[in-house]
Amino acid sequence: MNFSKENPPTNILPNGLAEADIDKAITKSGYPLQLIIGEKLRKRFHCQDEWSYIDSDSHEIRTMDILASARLYTFDNDNQPRVRPELNLLIECKQSDLPYIFFLTPDKIFTNDFPLVAGLFSKNLKVVSDYDPSSWHFSVIHALQLQEQEFLNGDVPTCFTFSKCVRKGPDVILSGTDGYNNLVLPLLKALKHFDASEVPPKTAHYFDAHLCLAIGVLDAPMIGVTVTETGHISKLLPCVRVYRHDSIEHKDWSQRSKLSAIDLVHKDYFDQYMEEKVIPFAKRYSELVLKHGTVLAEGKAFVKGMGDNSWTDIEPRLTEYSLLKKRIMPKL
Distance CA 82, CA 295 (A): 10
Nearby residues of 131 by Cβ (< 8 Å), 6 or more positions away: 328
SS3 of residue 217 by DSSP? strand
pLDDT computed for residue 49 by the predictor: 95
Mean pLDDT (whole number) for 207-234:
94
pLDDT computed for residue 40 by the predictor: 95
At 22-38, the pLDDT tens digits run 888 877 765 789 999 99
At 163-188, the pLDDT tens digits run 998 888 888 888 878 888 889 999 99
pTM of the model: 0.88
**Predicted confidence band at 326 (pLDDT cuts at 50, 70, 90)?**
low
**Predicted confidence band at 330 (pLDDT cuts at 50, 70, 90)?**
low
Distance CA 20, CA 238 (A): 31
Residue 297 has pLDDT above 50, yes or no: yes
SS3 of residue 282 by DSSP? helix
- With the CA atoms of 31, 34, 36 and 39 taken in that order, what torsion angle do they form, in degrees rounded to the nearest 10? -130
Residue 327 has pLDDT above 50, yes or no: no
Mean pLDDT (whole number) for 93-105:
93
pLDDT computed for residue 32 by the predictor: 84
For residue 69, the cross-strand partners are 46, 88
pLDDT computed for residue 25 by the predictor: 81
Residue 103 falls in which region: left (phi positive, over 0), alpha (psi -120 to 50) or beta? beta
At 42-90, the pLDDT tens digits run 999 999 999 999 998 899 999 999 999 999 998 777 788 999 999 999 9
Burial (CB count <10 Å: 0-12, 13-18, 19+), residue 331: exposed
Is the bond preceding residue 106 a cis peptide, omega within 30 degrees?
no
**Between these two residues, 5 and 157, which has the higher pLDDT value?**
157
Residue 235 has pLDDT above 50, yes or no: yes
**Predicted confidence band at 332 (pLDDT cuts at 50, 70, 90)?**
low
What share of the chain has pLDDT > 70, as a percent?
Answer: 94
Distance CA 83, CA 72 (A): 11
Distance CA 310, CA 214 (A): 31
> Domain ranges in the chain?
22-74+81-121+141-290
